[in-house]
Amino acid sequence: MAAHAWLRGPIAAALSPAALPSASSEHLRIATWNLRRLGAADAHTDLERLHAELRRLDADLIALQEIVDAAPLARPFEGWSLRLSEAGGHGEQHLGFAWRPDRLRARGPLLVDAVSSMGGRYRPVVAQRFDSPAGPLLAVTVHLKARPEGREIRRQQVARLRTWIQSRLRADETLILLGDFNLTGGAEARDAGAERREMIAQLAALNVKPVPNPLGCSAYWDGPQRDAWREPSELDLMWVPRALARSRVHPGAHCSRHSCQSFRSTPAYPDLDYRGISDHCPVVFDLPIEHAADASARRSNERHL
């Protein structure tokens, strides 16, 4: 694939209606994005719009979920490296990573945890090791079971996820855990906050925390009235080592444009990102290169003392 011409700094920021901060050479820009059944016959993804949004994000690494067919990614991700899982659960929704090869180098194959898919019923956990300007990374992406009635399954998936990561995370690696966690709460209480707190406790052994999202959403759904009003929800999270979790994530596209407030989208007057790309928005985190590299070196030295 041809090398991609990348814009960074004030010019890129001025071109972006999503008001994301400018990418910086002092950070590694990491994103996660559920692309809503991309490649399915009835998805009708606007690939030119997707391509434009990717340029605005200016990311170095993106975790991708809900890829039914990878073929449509060739144009938007021209110049990127791309690896996706072969397994995708009953819905055949694959997940994996796209990255800029001039900023990251993959180490080893894509790692897939088939156990977390519970016999192939659900999407597996997928991971990739990278050499990066911030030091060695282990990037892990998930797409957990959806809907309030799936809460108990998500609880089991997170328990398996924790064990799987613990058995693979190396002393010198920075863990980046990201993706669609489908935090909706349970069918009875529907308390997403309670499920989030439980998940934080479940993953505490990995020494990671979810990075705060000040806008408070990463996706929209139809809402209980089904009246063309789209309601915000925070389903997509970025977990990083506790020492790095003091920053914030930035949701892009329609989440940023509507400041995570409800909006109307109808066939006659659609929100073009919501209809043409995904109900989810990209979520971006800028990993401080120097801080991450120093922390990685300290962890490695501590393990060898």
Which residue ranges make up each domain of the chain? 25-304
Closest CA to 26 of 102, 134, 104, 177: 134
Q: Is the predicted pLDDT of residue 11 greater than 50, yes or no?
A: no
CA end-to-end span of the chain: 45
Q: In the predicted model, what is the mean pLDDT of residues 257-284? A: 97
76 or 188: which leads in pLDDT: 76
Q: Is the predicted pLDDT of residue 275 greater than 80, yes or no?
A: yes
Q: Is the predicted pLDDT of residue 27 greater than 50, yes or no?
A: yes
Predicted confidence band of residue 269 (pLDDT cuts 50, 70, 90): very high
Q: Tell me, what's the pLDDT at 45?
A: 96
Q: Tell me, what's the pLDDT at 299?
A: 63
Q: Tell me, what's the pLDDT at 187?
A: 82
Q: In the predicted model, what is the mean pLDDT of residues 289-294? A: 80
Q: What ranges make up the beta strands (E) of 79-135?
A: 81-84, 94-99, 105-113, 125-131
What's the rounded Cα separation, in Å, for the pair 203 and 300? 21
CATH number, span 25-304: 3.60.10.10
DSSP-assigned beta bridge partners for residue 67? 38, 94
Q: Tell me, what's the pLDDT at 305?
A: 54
Which amino acid type is present at position 5? A
Q: Tell me, what's the pLDDT at 297?
A: 66
Evaluate whether 140 touches 62 at the Cβ level (below 8 Å): no
303 or 18: which leads in pLDDT: 303
What's the rounded Cα separation, in Å, for the pair 12 and 118? 43
Phi, psi for residue 293 in degrees, rounded to 5: -65, -40
Q: Tell me, what's the pLDDT at 196?
A: 97
Q: Tell me, what's the pLDDT at 256?
A: 96
Q: Tell me, what's the pLDDT at 303?
A: 57
pLDDT in tens, 216-249: 999 999 988 888 999 999 999 999 999 998 899 9
Predicted confidence band of residue 113 (pLDDT cuts 50, 70, 90): very high
Evaluate whether 87 touches 120 at the Cβ level (below 8 Å): yes
Q: Is the predicted pLDDT of residue 158 greater than 90, yes or no?
A: yes
Q: Is the predicted pLDDT of residue 117 greater than 80, yes or no?
A: yes
Q: Tell me, what's the pLDDT at 10?
A: 38
Predicted confidence band of residue 300 (pLDDT cuts 50, 70, 90): low
Which amino acid type is present at position 129? R
Q: For residue 29, what are the contacts with CB-CB under 8 A and spacing of at least 6? A: 23, 57, 58, 59, 60, 61, 284, 285, 286, 287
Q: Is the predicted pLDDT of residue 298 greater than 80, yes or no?
A: no
β-pairing verdict for 229-233 and 174-180: unpaired
What's the rounded Cα separation, in Å, for the pair 129 and 120? 24
What's the rounded Cα separation, in Å, for the pair 198 and 157? 13
Q: Is the predicted pLDDT of residue 22 greater than 80, yes or no?
A: yes
Q: In the predicted model, what is the mean pLDDT of residues 36-56? A: 95
Lowest mean pLDDT among 30-39, 42-51, 92-101, 292-301: 292-301
Q: Is the predicted pLDDT of residue 129 greater than 90, yes or no?
A: yes
What's the rounded Cα separation, in Å, for the pair 74 and 90? 25
Q: What ranges make up the beta strands (E) of 116-184?
A: 125-131, 137-143, 174-180
Q: In the predicted model, what is the mean pLDDT of residues 71-80? A: 94
